[in-house]
Amino acid sequence: MATRDLVIRPVRPTDRDRVAELTRDVWNGHDYINSVFDDWVADAASAFQAVEVDGQVVGVQRLRPFAPGLVWYEGLRVATSHRRQGLARAMLTSAIAEAREQGHGEMRLATGNPDAVRLFESVGFQRLLDIRWWRGPRVEGGESARIPAAAEAEKLWPVIAKSPGIELYHGVMADFNGARDLGPALLARLAETGMLRAGPGGRAVAGLRRPWGDNLAVGFLAGAGGALRELLLALRFEADADGLDDVVVSLPRDHPAADDMRASGYDFANDDDHSYIYALTL
C-alpha cells in the first residue's frame, strides 16, 4: 500500500536491526518491541507492518485480532528523524481502514504517551479507562489465593457486577495486552487458563494478565472490605511462593478500593504514571 511516498508492508525478519535502531530512544532504551520482534513476525494471524519512506523503514505498527469483532492496535513507532511529519497519523488511518475492511467492529489500544493520546482522540478514539498502577511487595507466611473452576467463575458474575467501582472499568478489563469485555465469559476464560483468583466466598475476584516483569499482574479487581483485603494479601503471598518481586494492580483512577489497597500493603507504583485504554467503533 502506498500513500505519496509512504509504503506500508509486512515486517520481515531482515528488518530486525532497523527496528531496533528506530526504537532505541523509546522508554529510555527499554522498548519491548525488540523482545517480541520474532514472535510478532511469526504471527500470521496479526499484521505487523513496517512503514517505508524512500525505501527506508521509518516506523512500525501492529493490528492483532484478540476477540470476536475486536482488534488490538499496538506498537506504533516512528523514527526520531521522521516525527511530526504526519506519518503516525497516516499509519493509524491506514490501520483503521484495514480493520474495517476485515470486518472488525471495534479497535482498542492502550497508551501512556501524551502525544499519542492527542493523535488517537483526534481520529475519534474514546477513552475507556484511566489507570493508576499499584504495587504490593511479596510477603511470606500465608496461602496463595484460590483459582476457581470455570463453571464456578461464571456464577460469580452477578455478585461481581454489583461490586463498588465496577462501573469505572467501562465494561473492559484493564489489560494492556488486550482489553477484553468484562462479564461471565471472561471470568470463565480466565479461570480456564489459571488467571483468575477468588477471595472468601467468591466475594472478591482478581483477574490476572500477562506480566511485563517479574510480578503477578492484575488487570481486574472486584470486591470490598475484608474479602478484598484477604484476597489482596493472598496475592502477595502467591508472588512470594512463585519467586516474584511483587504484585502490580491496574486500577481505574478514583476506584473505591484504594483504601483496601493501602490497608493490604499496596501503594502507587508511580504517582506520575498516566496510562489509558481507548476504543474506536469501526
- 135 and 100 both lie in a single domain: no
Q: How many domains does the chain have?
A: 2
Residue-wise DSSP of 165-205? TGGGGTTB---TT--PBPSHHHHHHHHHTT-EEE-GGGS-E
Has residue 18 been placed in a domain?
yes
> Would you say 192 and 154 are in contact if contact means Cβ atoms under 8 Å apart?
no
For the residues 105-111, what does the mean pLDDT come to?
96
Give the three cell numbers for residue 163: 461490586
Has residue 111 been placed in a domain?
no
- 244 and 189 both lie in a single domain: yes
Neighbouring CB atoms inside 10 A of 139's CB total 16
Domain around 23? 2-104
pLDDT tens per residue, range 180-238: 999 999 999 999 999 999 998 899 999 999 998 899 999 999 999 999 999 999 999 99
Distances (CA, A) of 182 to 66, 139, 151, 222: 14, 30, 16, 11
Q: Are strands 246-252 and 215-222 parallel, antiparallel or unpaired?
A: parallel
More confident residue, 84 or 39: 39
pLDDT of residue 272: 64
pLDDT of residue 3: 45
Give the rounded percent of residues in the chain with a pLDDT score beyond 70: 97
* CA pair distance 187, 38, nearest whole angstrom: 31
